[in-house]
Structure 1
Amino acid sequence: MRRVQATAVAAATFVAGVIALVPAGPAAAATPTCNWVASYSGAWVPSLQSGNITCNLVQGTYGEAVRQLQTTLNKCYGARLTVDKSFGPATRSALVAAQRAAGTPADGEYGPNTRAAIRHEPLNGSTNCVRVP
C-alpha cells in the first residue's frame, strides 16, 4: 500500500454518524453577509445581528444593512439612491464612486477595507460624516 501525504485541503466533520468533508481555504472562511446595523465609533455601520462589524455586502443582497449603506451613500456622498434595502446596480455604482473618493480599491463590494475607508452616517444626526476604524 502506498502512503500519500495530504495537505490541508479539507476538514472532516463527524455529525450523526456521517463524515462530511468541508473544503479549506477562502470558501470555508468567507466573511459573512451583513444583516443588521450597529453603532460603532460614532457612526451607524452595516453589521451582523451579533454586533460584529466584520461582514460584507455585494450586489444582490437585501436588508437593513443595505438600507444603512444606501443611507450613508446618500448622506455622505450625495448618491441620491432610493433607500429600498436592495443592493442593486445603482447602489453598486454609488459604492464604487465612494470607494474611489476614499482612495480604496473600487470593486463595488462593502467589506472591512471599505468600512474603514469611507465615511459613515454619524450617530448624532450631524451633517459631518464619520470615518471608522
Structure 2
Amino acid sequence: MRKVKAALAAATTFAAGMIALVPASTATAATPTCNSAGTYAGAWVPIYRATPSVNCNLVQGTNSVGVRQLQTTLNKCYRAGLVEDGDFGPATRNALINAQRAAGTPADGEYGPNTRKAIKHEPVDGSTNCVRVP
C-alpha cells in the first residue's frame, strides 16, 4: 500500500509540473486544445479527439489537424488565402480576427466555443454554402 501511495504522490507531483508548462489560455479542463477535425451539425470543425468534443481551443502557436481545419474554413468561408499547414501563426490569427469581426463576436484571434458558434464553417456536403454550428 505504501508503494502505491508513493507512486500516486510521484505521479501527482509530475503531473503538476507538466500542467505548469502549458500556457494559461489553453490549460483549462473544460476547453482542451483542438487536435483533430470532425463533422458536427453539417460542418467540418476543429475537435478535441480524445473525448471527442467540439468544445476546444486554438491559439497562436498551436500546430494540429484542428488548426488545418480552421485554416480550410477561413479560406472557404472568408477567402483568407491561408496556407493550410496546420500552423496557427500570425496570418491565421489575423484571418480569424477578420472572421470574428464579420461574425460580430469579440475579435481576440483565439478559437473557442464562442467563436465556433459565431463563425461559418466548411460544409460537409462540399457545397459553397458555409454553415454556422451550435
Place the TM-score, normalised by the shorter chain, in its bin.
0.7 to 0.9
Matches of 2:59 and 2:118 in 1, distance apart? 17
Unaligned 5+ runs, structure 1: 1-13
2:6 corresponds to 1:18: no
Structure 1 ranges of 4+ moved more than 3 A: 19-23, 26-30
**1:75-99 CA distance string (max 9 Å, x none):** 0001000111100000000000000
Q: 1:100 to 1:17 in 2, by over 3 A?
A: closer
Matches of 1:39 and 1:17 in 2, distance apart? 38
Could you tell me which residue of structure 2 aligns to residue 63 of structure 1?
64
Matches of 2:72 and 2:28 in 1, distance apart? 31
SS at match of 1:81: coil
Matches of 1:76 and 1:115 in 2, distance apart? 13
60-69 vs 29-38, greater mean Cα deviation:
29-38
Structure 1 residue 48: Cα displacement: 1.0
| Larger helix proportion of the pair | 2
Matches of 1:68 and 1:103 in 2, distance apart? 21
TM-score normalised per structure 1: 0.81
Could you tell me which residue of structure 1 aligns to residue 102 of structure 2?
101
Unaligned 5+ runs, structure 2: 20-24
Matches of 2:75 and 2:61 in 1, distance apart? 19
1:1-133 residue pairs with structure 2 within 5 A?
16=7, 18=9, 20=12, 29=29, 31-49=31-49, 50-133=51-134
Matches of 2:108 and 2:92 in 1, distance apart? 12
49-58 vs 28-37, greater mean Cα deviation:
28-37
| Larger strand proportion of the pair | 1
TM-score normalised per structure 2: 0.80
Matches of 1:90 and 1:81 in 2, distance apart? 7
Q: Which has the larger radius of gyration?
A: 1
Q: 1:55 to 1:17 in 2, by over 3 A?
A: closer
Percent sequence identity over aligned pairs: 65
